[in-house]
Amino acid sequence: MDESVKILCVDDEKNVLKALERLFLDEDYEIITADSGDQGLQVMEAEYPVQVIISDYRMPGMNGVDFLKIVCERWPETVRIVLSGYADTAAVVAAINEGQIYKFIPKPWNDDELKVTIAKAIESFFLVQKNIELTRELQDSNEELKALNENLENMVEERTSEVIFQNKVLARSQTILDSLPVGVLGVAPEGMIVQCNRVGCELLGNDISALLGHEASSALPAALNDLLAKLGNEKHACGAAVIGDCRIMVVASAMSCDCGQAGRILVLVPEERLKM
C-alpha cells in the first residue's frame, strides 16, 4: 500500500491508549490517540483519512457506539472497532448495527488476535476504496459511452437525412431525364452503363435492367460503340446511327469523374424530332 495507514485509538484510560501504542510499535502504522468521543471527532476532522478507529465502549459523556455512529455518518469508509469489558457485551452487541461496527473486541484483548483483526480491517478499508474507485471509473465510462452513443445517434440521424435528401435529388434528376424528348445514356470510365432515361431505353429497344450495370460493348448496338471509340480523347463527337428502323443522331461528350478518367454521355435524338 502506497498510502500511509492511520489508526485512531479512543479511550478515556491513558494506560489503555499506551498499551495500544506499544502493541503497534513495530507496525508501519501511524497511531493517533484521543481520550473522549468529542476529542476523537476533532481528530477525525484534522487527520482524515483515518483507516481504522478502535474505540472503548464505556467513556464519560459520549459512549463508543454513539461516537462511532457519528463517524459512520460523516466518514463511512473508516473501519470501526469497539473495545469493551465482558460486562458490556450484551449492550454493545445490541447497539452494533447503529454504528455499523466492523468488530467487537472484548477487554482484555489478545495481542495477536487484535493485530490480525486490525490487519484485516485495513485490508477491508482498501478493498472498499478500490471498489469505490472502480465504481466511479465505471460510471465515468458509462457517461462517456452514453455521450458517444448520443453523438453516434446524431451522426446517424444527420447521415440519414443526407441520404434521404440525396435520394430525393436522384429521384427528381431521373424524373427530369425521363421527361426529356431525347435519349440520355451514361457510360462509366470502365465501360459500364450507369444511366439511361426512358427515351433512351425506348430507342435502344431494351428494358433498363438489360442496360444498367452491363458493359456498353455488349449491351449497345455496334454503331454506338463505334461512336464511343471515335470519341477517344476528344471532348465531343457526333454522328448518326441506325438502330432498328430509326435513324438517330448521336452526340457524345466526355464526362470527367473523381478517378481522373473520363466517362461518356451519349445524347440520342431521333431524326424526325430534328425536323419538329
> Which pLDDT tens digit goes with each residue over 72-117?
999 988 999 988 876 566 666 666 666 578 888 888 899 999 999 9
> Which pLDDT tens digit goes with each residue over 190-230?
889 888 888 888 888 878 788 888 998 888 888 888 877 77
Q: Is this prediction's pTM over 0.85?
A: no
What the block records as the C-alpha cell of 84 is: 469493551
